[in-house]
Each structure stands twice: as structure tokens, then as C-alpha cells.
Structure 1
Amino acid sequence: MTTVPCPAGLEELGPEHFAFPRAPRVYEVLLGGTETYQCDRDAALDLYMVAPWVMLAARTNRWFTEVATEAALRLGARQFLDLGCGLSNQPDLHHLVPDGCPVVYADRDPGVLAHAKSWLDPGPPHRTTVVAADLLDMRGLLARPELHGALDLARPIAVTVHDVLPWNTDDAAVADAMTVLRDWLPVGSTLSITHLTPDLNPAQVPEVASVYEQHGIPVRPRSRTEIDAFFGGFTRLGTGLTAVSQWSAHGPNVRHFTPYPARASDAPAYAGIAVKTDRARR
């Protein structure tokens, strides 16, 4: 595996950014990407040694982005907000939506942001915007002028928060951020979340978390009850909050999604999609 040339902007980062693994780059290794460094590959190998399913889990999570995007489109959403977008790994969100649909990518990792500015085409037909922001400061993120210039708060917005919240270990801060997000979203918006959990593989998920922490990456797997609370009073779609590979739905607005071919224990994350109705509680 080789490292790609440095995108513009990365050369401005300090050496510590490349000397230690970063969660988005480790995820990139697990997906088979190349925009990584030796420290990231070392961390990914250590993960694989304790849990050989980690690459399948990453692919399953990526698959759910396609599911959530199509579900949102069928429910009428035509603008998208990807919180904690991570590194590019096609198909990216703006490749999954019709031309002309605005897509806002937000992330706090400076390397992710540098890469995003190098691979995104901000002009037509892809109306993409990159915002440097931390979802733990959700009020600040949602107040950014770039975001308001791209999204129309009079229409539904589809938000994806996929494999992001486990890397935020402050439970109170995460709960507050998600409450602020839910309050801000217009009626008809969708919220899609995937989240690592010990429930589906209690033997190995704690080992995975320990390996991440040994490499300087704190991680907080959460229970089904804890994750479900992030949806507040939104109406759950399909099978509700369930193992990511087992999520499915059918109905007039959402085509029949079939489960992904992975056991729940080999992709130990919960996934859910919910809609904000006019009677939604916080």
C-alpha cells in the first residue's frame, strides 16, 4: 500500500498529524484506501489481529450510507449534511444524489478537510460545500455562514452521522449536540446514525476499543438504549434501530432494502434512520 501525494493544505499541518494514527485514516485503511500513513496501517493491523471482521464492518457501514441516502431521497429530501464526513471513498455522498442537490460536508480533522478541498468539485453539477467544524460545538457548526448559504431551512434536510459519535467520548456533550441538531432541523428532515456497540459482540468490541486507545484514539462504544436516545422523538423508519447489516425497510416511500451479507457480530454497530414530523418531541 502506498501513500498518495500530499494534497494542498496538508503540508501546513504539524508533524504530529502524521506521526500518530487518526481515526479517519484508520477507517480509510480498513476500506482499502491509500491516503494513509504507516502509523495508520499499523493500527489497522493491530485491530485486524484481535478482530478480523473490522474490514467487513467498515464496508457494511459504508453500504448504509447508500441506504440512508436513497431512503432520504424517496422521502423527498433534496439537500444533505454529512457530519464527520471522513476521507473520500467513492461513492461519496454527492455521487449518490441527483445533480443540483446541495451537499455540505463537515469535519474537524484538518487532514480530512485538506483532502476534501482537493477532491471535491464545488461547482455544478455537484453543489458541495466543506465546513471546518466540530459537531460537539453544534451551535457553532449550525451557525456557520457557509452552511446557511448552502442549505434552505424551509425545506427538509437529510443528515448522516455515520461512525462519528463513538469518537466523541463525552456523553453529556454528545447528547447536547444531538438535541441542538434535532431542534434545528426542519420538519420532514431525516437523521441517519450508525454507532459502534458492545451489545452485538461483547467479547471483541472492548478489545477493539482497547487497541484504538493504545494507539491514542479514544473511542466510546454505546448501548442500544444510549444510541436510540440520539433520535429523540423522531419517527423511526424500517426496522428501527437495529444491527447495521440487518436494517431493512419496505413501503410506498422507501423501497425494499435487503440486509447486508454480514453477521451482526461481524459488523457490531447499530443503525437507524428517523424522520422529524410536525409532532416530533425533542
Structure 2
Amino acid sequence: MTTTPCPVELEQLGPDHFSRARAPRVYEVLLGGTEMYQCDRDTALDLYMVAAWVMLAARTNRWFTEVATETVLRLGVRQFLDLGCGLPNRPDLHQLVPEGCPVVYTDRDPGVLAHAKTRLDPGPPYRTTVVAADLLDMERLLASPEVTGAFDLSQPIAVTVHDVLPWNTDGTAITDAMAALRAWLPVGSTLSITHLTPDLNPGQVPEVVSVYERHGIAVRPRSRAEVNAFFGDFTHLGAGLAPVSQWSAHGSNVRHFNPYPARASDAPAFAGITVKTDHSRR
């Protein structure tokens, strides 16, 4: 499989694509990847100078994707929707699920999509699709032919929204989008979210926000109550809404060993995995 990004028009990328940091590429720096520019490396370095835990936090968030995937597979879910997939970084979601499971990746960043369309669509035996879509326009996203053609709505779907919502600062728009998503999901579906929070590190998270804003990236950490609201009345699994580094399946046989042990303050994000039950309203 080639690792060369597919071509995109420069006007799609924007005039400052190569000179201004982008959140997905800064995340790539923190994960030790290669798809970034000097502006992204500069931002990551400034983040590290005010919060040395940022690389550990990124790796912990990435690890949680493996935890969430294994958890929902054990529930029997075999359809997957990754909202805000970001730059490819092994293992990607379709590499964690059994061959033949439909996986739909979405993102709104043209640079991310250039890489994703090349590297996240390896063909048979995988059933992966990459969609250019903004989760804030959830109804259009869910009505796209790529989504409607991939999923059987008589069966549950696992939705992953990891480290995506903090980069959307319009709380009302996110609330509406997540409500539309929950209403669309079949019973038995799962919703997994990770989200940066000031609750777990009130001293340094505001400094991290300031660094991002200084580099032109808007980010909004949210409180435990705000993050929990995105799940609606879906039923929490395992530890419930918990620090991402400390989430566990509590007695299940999910292999949830964390290779990146961290205090809650060193990976200041909440994580939760929930299920839509017959009693869930939306």
C-alpha cells in the first residue's frame, strides 16, 4: 500500500496550509509520525515546553481506540464509523477489526483526506470508505451515499469520536449534531468519545489552550458534565466516564493493559464507551 498522499487542489488546502499549524498534524508530531511541517513541529515544541505530558496524552488517546474497538467487538458489533479520523497512524481502525467489517472514516480537513483516501482504503478484503464530511453537519453526513451504502441499519454500529469534539468550539452545534447521531443509531450501537478536560489538570490545560490559540488553532476543553451530555441517555460500559488513562472494562476479559501508564493529570481527557439500549430515547 502506498504512503504517498493522493493529490488535492491547492485551493482546497488553503493559502496557509503549509505555514500555519493544523491540529491533526500537531497530533501527528506528538505521536512520532512524519506527516507534518515546521509550523506543526514548532507548535508541538511550544506545547511540550508548557506541558511535558502532551506526547504521553496523545499516545494514551491513541491506545484507547484499541480498547474501544476490542470492547465493542466483544459485544458483537461489526460495523464501524470513525468521525474525525485524523491522519493515518498504525494501527488504524480497519486493522483492528475482522476482515470484511465495513469501516467508514470521515474528516473535514482536506489535507487529512488526501492521506486518508490513499492509506485508509486498501481494498479487499477490507471494506473501508473515506468520506469528506463535517460532523457538525451530521444529517448530511449520515445521508451521504458512502454511509448509507456501507451500513445495515438493522444491525448495531460502533461510532468512534476520539479527540475530535474539543476542536469544535460551538457547543450548541455539537450538541445538535450528537443528538442527531444518537437518534440515527440502531439499538445496540455503541458510542465512544474521548475529550480534553480542564477538570483533571486545571493548572496546565489552560496553558495548553493558550499555546494552540497562539498558533491559530481554536480548542475548547470541556467539563465532565459537558462531555457526559454528548452521550445522552446511552448506557455507560466499564468504568463509565473516566480519565482516559484509567478507563477499564472492570472484570471483563478485554485486554485493556495500558502501555502508556499515566496519571489522570498527565492525560487530562475523559473517555467513555456507551450502548444504545431499548430505553434510550435518542
**TM-score under structure 2 length normalisation:** 0.95
Residue 257 of structure 1 is matched in structure 2 by 256
1:220 aligns with 2:185: no
SS at match of 1:194: strand
SS at match of 2:272: strand
Residue 137 of structure 1 is matched in structure 2 by 137
Cα distance in 2 between the residues matched to 1:11 and 1:277: 44
Superposition deviation, residue 208 in structure 1? 0.2
Higher mean displacement: 243-252 or 138-147:
243-252
Are 1:243 and 1:269, in contact at CA under 8 Å, matched by a contact in 2? Answer: yes
Superposition deviation, residue 256 in structure 1? 5.8
Residue 79 of structure 2 is matched in structure 1 by 79
Residue 191 of structure 1 is matched in structure 2 by 191
Superposition deviation, residue 6 in structure 1? 6.0
In structure 1, what residue type is equivalent to 2:201?
Answer: N
Are 2:30 and 2:55, in contact at CA under 8 Å, matched by a contact in 1? Answer: yes
Residue 95 of structure 1 is matched in structure 2 by 95
Query: For 1:146-165, what aligned pairs fall within 5 Å after superposition?
Result: 146-165=146-165
Are 1:160 and 1:192, in contact at CA under 8 Å, matched by a contact in 2? Answer: yes
Residue 64 of structure 1 is matched in structure 2 by 64
Calculate percent identity across the aligned residue pairs.
77
Are 2:3 and 2:118, in contact at CA under 8 Å, matched by a contact in 1? Answer: no
Are 1:122 and 1:129, in contact at CA under 8 Å, matched by a contact in 2? Answer: no
In structure 1, what residue type is equivalent to 2:269?
Answer: A
Q: Decide whether aligned partners of structure 1 residues 66 and 5 sit closer, same or farther in structure 2, where only a CA change above 3 A counts.
A: closer
In structure 1, what residue type is equivalent to 2:179?
Answer: T
In structure 2, what residue type is equivalent to 1:200?
Answer: L
**TM-score under structure 1 length normalisation:** 0.95
Superposition deviation, residue 157 in structure 1? 0.3
1:247 aligns with 2:247: yes
In structure 2, what residue type is equivalent to 1:140?
Answer: R
Cα distance in 1 between the residues matched to 2:251 and 2:153: 27
Q: Where in structure 1 are there 5+ consecutive unaligned residues?
A: none
User: Cα deviation per residue 1:52-73 (whole Å; 9 max; x = unaligned)?
Assistant: 0000000000000000000010
Query: For 1:225-244, what aligned pairs fall within 5 Å after superposition?
Result: 225-244=225-244
Superposition deviation, residue 200 in structure 1? 0.3
Superposition deviation, residue 255 in structure 1? 2.5
In structure 1, what residue type is equivalent to 2:207?
Answer: E
Q: Where in structure 2 are there 5+ consecutive unaligned residues?
A: none
In structure 2, what residue type is equivalent to 1:87?
Answer: L
SS at match of 1:231: coil
SS at match of 1:34: coil
Residue 7 of structure 1 is matched in structure 2 by 5
User: Cα deviation per residue 1:188-207 (whole Å; 9 max; x = unaligned)?
Assistant: 00000000000000000000
Cα distance in 2 between the residues matched to 1:146 and 1:20: 31
Cα distance in 2 between the residues matched to 1:14 and 1:229: 34
Indicate the RMSD between aligned Cα atoms, in angstroms.
1.5
SS at match of 2:273: strand
User: Cα deviation per residue 1:218-252 (whole Å; 9 max; x = unaligned)?
Assistant: 00000000000001110000010000000011356
SS at match of 2:169: coil
In structure 1, what residue type is equivalent to 2:6?
Answer: A
Cα distance in 2 between the residues matched to 1:24 and 1:235: 30
Superposition deviation, residue 14 in structure 1? 3.6
Residue 43 of structure 1 is matched in structure 2 by 43
SS at match of 2:18: helix
Cα distance in 1 between the residues matched to 2:5 and 2:87: 12
